Amino acid sequence: MFGYTLDDHVELRPLAIEHARAMFEITDRSRDRLRKWLPWVDAVTEVNDTVNYIKGAMKQAADNGGFSAGIWVREELAGTISFHEIDWNNRSVGIGYWLDQHFTGQGLMTSACRAFTDHALMRMGLNRVEIRCATANHRSRAIPERLGFVLEGVIREAEKLPQGYVNHAVYGMIQSEWKRMR
């Protein structure tokens, strides 16, 4: 099971049912900011919605299909990062992430994405990691750019959000590139 210490105060831990209340609270607290970029936010209206998400994430991890981790700062949940469905045939995976508004701008997500990318490419033996972000979400796009991911293109109207369809910038990192950058 994945667990990773980023520094003396920050740790990535697999999501568990006991994290549901804290996760719901940070979702609720950051709702106005998150709904602009994440389609699931308005469907999360009570703690049980978060419990169901975590149960699904735990099943996905048990089936070796991906996993989700909480980002913990001094024992406070700051956000999550996930491997979306792992494509074992093509040895690739996508990363998704979000942070509570109180923890943005501190480099936490860049560090978490670096750890997840390294884990995928160097420990799991995957060949490709992909990050997709709405083209107008400049803060999210800055993360793969800082890590040296390649902007591979834009998918038009890739996702429907409350304000309408958004285009996605697709960033990719392959194992041979990551090894050269380490």
* Extents of the domains making up the chain: 4-181
Is 90 exceeded by the pLDDT of residue 10?
A: yes
150: CB partners within 8 A, 6+ apart? 171, 172, 173, 177
CATH fold label, 4-181: Aminopeptidase (3.40.630)
**Considering the entire predicted model, what is its pTM?**
0.94
37: CB partners within 8 A, 6+ apart? 98, 133, 134, 137, 140, 161, 166
Tell me the two tokens of residue 45: 């209206």
Give the pLDDT confidence of 107-153 residue by residue, as tens digits: 999 999 999 999 999 999 999 999 999 999 999 999 999 999 999 99
pLDDT, mean of residues 16-28:
96
Q: Given this model, what pLDDT does residue 182 score?
A: 79
CA 150 to chain centre: 18
Contact 23, 80 (CB under 8 A): yes
